Amino acid sequence: MKPDPRHRVFMSVIELIPHIWPTPLVRLSSLSTGEYNIWAKLEFFNPFSHSIKDRPVWNMVVKAHERCIECGKLYEATSGNVGIALASISNILGIKFRAYIPRPTPRITEVLLKILGTEIIRTNYDTISPEMVDMVKKEAEKDGAMNLNQFENDDNLEAHLKYTAPELDEQLSSIGRSPPHAIIAGIGTSGHISALSMYFKKKYGDRVRVIGVIPAMGSSIPGIKRVEARPKWLADADIDEIVEVSRDEAIEASILVARKEGLLVGLSSGAVLSAYGKIKEKYGPGDYVLIFPDDIFKYIEYFDDYFSRKGDRKLFC
């Protein structure tokens, strides 16, 4: 008898995606006030990187593997969740994975990649720049390895157009809340925010506002980048507003979620909540969907640093 995915029984790990979807959508009751309802899409329920990056990585790897006769090696530039998802899925498919990481990559990310058996090349690049991406591409070509290039690969965007966006729409429709008043999401490669914008704007027009979140000038937040990096798909998306958030603001919002809702969410999730606080009065009451890309555990050092600088000032109780 074949297991029924509704009972969360799977015959192999690779079946977890896409059959484990949808990820939960939950109302943050303690943070919803009056006619303002905050809904959080909890992408850390994805099984491999515990992040939204499982979606595009699964789509990119499976499609590349189907197209390639000899796909024994995979090289990719990564600084976090994409690398962890690639390492996990490569292990399942028997692919040897080499991760090229920028110099400031958190130590815990490197440890997780080592646990997964990844060959790690820590480069001298301060960020994943076009130059670093090109270098990795050339290394892959030289060694006959696959290079997915998450920043340019349209299978990244497709994963969110095909799965993430309609999944969210179906969840909201099931409780009579679609379309939402606004969707707020971070801007990284721009895959998920662009797909959400394309899907919801096409179906519902300007009834849905799409708000992007980036780090404030001079600040860095893992998982999101400033638009000067020119993410590929953002130009084709209809983004109503882009909000800047500092790292400390993101940390404080993550702490707020932990102390009000008991959820340990990562920095990009905190940045999204902080952005909501900055725009809610402008856009008025309604249902706001916040995309929470991952959980807190890869970023403990950032919180440790915050507490060492500012202490636990009881700001969130």
- Three-state secondary structure call for residue 285: coil
- Three-state secondary structure call for residue 182: strand
- Report the pLDDT value the prediction gives residue 233, as an integer from 0 to 100: 97
Please give the structure tokens belonging to residue 17: 């995606």
Which CATH number applies to 5-47+164-306: 3.60.15.10, 3.40.50.720, 3.40.50.1100, 2.20.25.90?
A: 3.40.50.1100
- Report the pLDDT value the prediction gives residue 317, as an integer from 0 to 100: 43
Backbone φ and ψ for 32, nearest 5 degrees, come out as: -90, 130
- Three-state secondary structure call for residue 224: strand
Q: What is the CATH code of the structural domain delimited by 54-143?
A: 3.40.50.1100
CB 196 within 8 A of CB 165: yes
Domain segments of the chain: what residues?
5-47+164-306, 54-143
Q: 10-residue block means of pLDDT along the chain (317 residues)?
A: 77 91 97 95 98 97 79 92 96 95 92 97 92 96 94 96 98 97 97 98 97 96 90 94 98 97 98 98 97 96 94 63
278: buried, middle or exposed (CB in 10 Å: 19+, 13-18, 0-12)? middle
34: buried, middle or exposed (CB in 10 Å: 19+, 13-18, 0-12)? exposed
- Report the pLDDT value the prediction gives residue 171, as an integer from 0 to 100: 98
Q: What is the pTM of this model?
A: 0.95
Identical fold between 5-47+164-306 and 54-143: yes
- Report the pLDDT value the prediction gives residue 275, as an integer from 0 to 100: 98
Biggest CA pair distance of the chain: 59
Neighbours of 210 (CB within 10 A): 22
